């Protein structure tokens, strides 16, 4: 009996040491030797051009650029439930950027979330999606970044909730949520569909915003593209639960992604604005492939949310929200009322704008506060910010009027609280 206990105890010790060794191997990642900054002439023009296209599809500068005069130099604060991260410098500066990174270090960072020096990277950098990108495309991105202007810029220190600033803890997150890649083609689907899937799931990292997150910050399993939150905005569902009043088609998705505006839906706003801006210069075939794939994600949604032509319950809305009706007439009607020049020009009617149909008023309020900036100058709409012109109570009244007049859904609950919260968020540095 004692011998059995001793063997059992020894087995536990061996298992503990084994588990510790495995954990240590997972936590420790060896640094990769630095190199002199590559000569820009060592990359072909065609490879750099391809990398520029991929960087646009990946929306890289939206996160890595704060000042347009210093592209890709990092420093953008990124608020997360776990603290504030500051995006890194990815220019080829050797001291503060990635200028001394060999190509293999860049590949490892993109796929495994490990820096050249062996540090684990926070998953705000979506390496769980970039793991699906192939070698050729990563090498083209590397060539593009290594031929940018080197900029000396050090990002501020991250401000994470204790103990989440201890990077080895990220190994547990990776074990749970990091995709292994590479992208696997679906033989039964067309080449165009597969190309779209590769771009959306990989460099486009669309699920990073459009999929809900669990308490650990990972994408919820089984809920891909069911809608998420990004930079204080709601990212709508891209599956059959999408609440757009009219069904998105391949053509309407293509128009929206290409121009930032679609007459039967809405205009790109918030974090989606730079995405559409970059896709406006991407290859036409890639944008259409993305539309084909996203359309397939929405398959099963065939009904409209209300009758056609679009509803307009003006009389009832005026009775319910007279202050909102007055504000709409003075601040909005010149563009959005029936017969207004913008409406005649083919802009979306408010009854077709998805944000007014959503369960949460957040995006409607955000658009009022921030406005809309033109994307492609000849086609995209402009709307001024009303943050300095309307007080909270007026924003609440106007939003309630819009919901009542241009939607068949029930009133938004907690509208005043949402406005106050967004005002507070917008006022923070």
Mean pLDDT by 10 residues, the chain (429 residues): 39 35 64 96 98 97 94 94 95 98 98 96 95 97 98 96 92 90 94 98 96 95 94 93 90 94 88 93 96 94 56 89 96 86 73 90 95 66 89 97 92 94 78
pLDDT value, residue 392: 96
pLDDT value, residue 215: 93
Helix (H) or strand (E) segment spanning residue 166? none
| Cis ω before 40 (30° cut-off from 0) | no
For 205-264, how does the pLDDT look when each residue is reduced to its tens digit (9 = 90+)?
999 999 999 999 999 999 999 999 998 899 999 999 998 888 999 999 999 999 888 888
Model pTM above 0.85: yes
For 274-319, how does the pLDDT look when each residue is reduced to its tens digit (9 = 90+)?
999 999 999 999 999 999 999 999 987 666 655 445 567 899 999 9
Structure tokens at 190: 């067309």
Which of 150, 144, 143, 145 is closest to 70 using CA atoms? 150
pLDDT value, residue 312: 78
pLDDT value, residue 175: 93
pLDDT value, residue 424: 86
Compute CA distances 349 → 138, 263, 323, 360, whole Å: 42, 8, 21, 20
pLDDT value, residue 339: 77
Residues 6 or more apart in contact with residue 331 via CB below 8 angstroms: 386, 389, 390, 398
pLDDT value, residue 376: 55
């Amino acid at each position: 009996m004692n011998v059995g206990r001793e063997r059992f105890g020894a087995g536990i010790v061996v298992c503990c040491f084994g588990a510790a060794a495995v954990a240590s191997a997972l936590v420790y990642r060896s640094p990769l030797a630095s190199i002199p900054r590559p000569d820009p002439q060592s990359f072909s023009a065609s490879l750099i051009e391809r990398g520029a296209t991929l960087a646009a599809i990946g929306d890289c500068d939206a996160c890595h650029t704060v000042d347009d005069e210093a592209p890709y130099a990092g420093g953008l604060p990124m608020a997360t439930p776990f603290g504030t991260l500051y995006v890194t410098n990815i220019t080829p500066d050797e001291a503060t950027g990635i200028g001394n990174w060999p190509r293999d270090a860049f590949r490892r960072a993109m796929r495994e979330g490990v820096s050249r020096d062996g540090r684990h990277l926070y998953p705000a950098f979506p390496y769980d999606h970039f793991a699906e990108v192939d070698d050729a495309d990563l090498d083209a991105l590397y060539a593009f970044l290594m031929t940018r202007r080197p900029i000396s810029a050090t990002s501020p220190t991250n401000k994470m909730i204790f103990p989440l600033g201890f990077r080895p803890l990220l190994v547990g997150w990776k074990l749970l949520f990091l995709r292994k890649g590479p992208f696997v083609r679906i033989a039964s689907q067309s080449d165009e569909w597969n190309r779209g899937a590769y771009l959306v799931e990989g460099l486009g990292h669309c699920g990073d915003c459009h999929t809900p997150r669990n308490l650990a910050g990972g994408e919820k399993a089984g809920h891909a593209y069911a809608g998420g939150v990004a930079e204080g905005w709601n990212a709508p569902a891209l599956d059959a639960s999408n609440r757009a009043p009219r069904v998105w088609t391949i053509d309407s998705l293509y128009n929206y992604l290409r121009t930032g505006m679609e007459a039967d839906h809405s205009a790109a706003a918030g974090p989606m604005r730079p995405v559409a801006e970059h896709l406006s210069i991407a290859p036409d075939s890639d944008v259409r492939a993305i539309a084909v794939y996203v359309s397939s994600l929405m398959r099963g949604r065939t009904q409209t949310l209300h009758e056609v032509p679009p509803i307009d319950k003006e009389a009832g809305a005026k009775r319910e929200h007279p202050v909102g009706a007055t504000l709409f007439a003075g601040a909005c009607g010149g563009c959005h009322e029936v017969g207004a020049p913008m409406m005649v020009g083919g802009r979306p009617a408010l009854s077709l704008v998805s944000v007014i149909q959503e369960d949460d008023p957040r995006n409607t309020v955000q658009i009022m506060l921030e406005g809309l900036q033109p994307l492609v100058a000849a086609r995209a709409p402009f709307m001024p910010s009303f943050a300095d012109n309307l007080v909270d109570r007026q924003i609440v009244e106007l939003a309630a009027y819009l919901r009542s007049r241009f939607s068949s859904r029930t009133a938004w609950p907690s509208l005043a609280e949402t406005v106050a919260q967004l005002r507070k968020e917008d006022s923070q540095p």
